[in-house]
Amino acid sequence: MIGVIDYGAGNLCSVRNALDALGVRSATVDTKSGIEAADALILPGVGEFGSAMKELSARGLCAVLKSAAEAGVPLLGICLGMQMLFEESEESPGVRGLALLPGRSARFSDKYGLKIPHMGWNSITPLKESRLLKGISAGSYMYFVHSYYVRCGRREDAAAGASYGDDFDAAAERGTVFGCQFHPEKSGSEGFLILKNFIEIAEGKR
């Protein structure tokens, strides 16, 4: 069972609908026991970094999430959920992320004259051999909605890059911790392939 984490700021329905379409059993989880019962976890997210981390903490989910990830339970962060896997965000100074991966989020620069948030389809470029992005070619288009983006603290953690004025890390991967700044559940057949790859990782096939 894949647990889709509910902390009051997640895009739960579209993620679960995508998993249903792939024939995968999932459940919305918002307790320690629910997280511990899952074979893999998805941390979706929309909204503001500080508020999301505050709510995750208020529900007592930070420690159990970190313990699960450190024990090797596959964890996929999507959009804000990816940013929360890292240490901090320029959006909410002084607020600590889950710190499962080193790095931080920064806001897109206004100097390029581009509309912020970055919203719509943009191409990505895989940066390394990746279990999550297996079968995804350079130039594949994914759907983004975000004003802040991750800068991985270790370049080897960056699984894919993209550009919107600023170059940024569009996906991250280390061990069984994965992140997508884009929304795979809204990115057509290639996004569904990424979700399928994650499911196969959870099933021990990758």
**pLDDT tens column, 125-167:** 999 999 999 999 999 999 999 999 999 999 999 999 999 999 9
Nearest to 10 by CA among 62, 81, 82: 81
**pLDDT tens column, 97-123:** 999 999 999 999 999 999 999 999 999
Instruction: Provide the domain count of the chain.
Output: 1
- For residue 206, pLDDT over 70 is answered with no
Residue type, 161: G
pLDDT reported for residue 46: 86
Give the structural domain span for 194: 2-202
Residue 8: CATH number of its domain? 3.40.50.880
Nearest to 28 by CA among 42, 47, 46: 42
- Token match 């999932």: residue? 26
- For residue 35, pLDDT over 70 is answered with yes
Q: Label residue 176 exposed, middle or buried (CB < 10 Å: 0-12, 13-18, 19+).
A: buried
Q: From start to end of 90-153, where are the E strands?
A: 103-107, 118-126, 140-146, 148-152
From residue 201, how far is each of 134, 138, 151, 183 by CA, in Å?
A: 11, 22, 25, 19
C-alpha 103/C-alpha 206 separation (Å) is 26
pTM over 0.75: yes
Phi-psi region for residue 139, left (φ > 0), alpha (ψ -120 to 50) or beta?
left
pLDDT reported for residue 8: 85
pLDDT reported for residue 148: 98
Active site residues: 79, 183, 185
